Amino acid sequence: MPRLFPCSCSPVASVTEYSNKDTLTLGSYKLSPAGSRGSRVNVQVTDKLGTRLHSRLNAPAEGNFAFTAPEHSDFDVCFQNMADDNVAPNPASVRSVELTVRTSFCF
């Protein structure tokens, strides 16, 4: 079931999920339109050891990711709503994120 949560300008909005070792994890997300010009969202998925499992700078409005978990562990899916260079961040610029994560596709 998709999760819907806000992603304000500057801080990182994260969701934590669990995956078993050697299982395929699939994720998809949809971002609401930017409320102001000069806004971009970066997406990053990391495990608890800090290993980057997926990373996308200036992510499109809709995207997908997939990875095979290296260990039994939690992982974080993080979205960072940022102002572009030379544009002052607008604290009121909040974008919604709709995130769906499916795990436990064993090999």
Q: How do residues 10-19 score in pLDDT, each as one tens digit? A: 567 888 999 8
Q: What is the CA radius of gyration of the chain?
A: 14
Residues forming beta bridges with residue 55, ordered by sequence position: 44
On the question of pLDDT at 82 being above 60, the answer is: yes
User: Which contacts qualify for 59-63: CB closer than 8 Å, 24 or more apart?
Assistant: 59/29, 59/31, 61/30, 61/31, 61/33, 62/28, 62/29, 62/30, 62/31, 63/28, 63/29
Nearest to 94 by CA among 13, 27, 2: 13
What is the dihedral sign for C-alpha 85, 86, 92, 96? negative
Per-residue pLDDT averaged across 43-66, rounded?
93
pLDDT above 90 covers a percentage of the chain that reads: 36
pTM for the structure as a whole = 0.81
| Band of residue 37 on the pLDDT scale cut at 50, 70, 90 | low
Listed ranges 10-24, 31-45, 92-106; the one with the highest mean pLDDT = 10-24
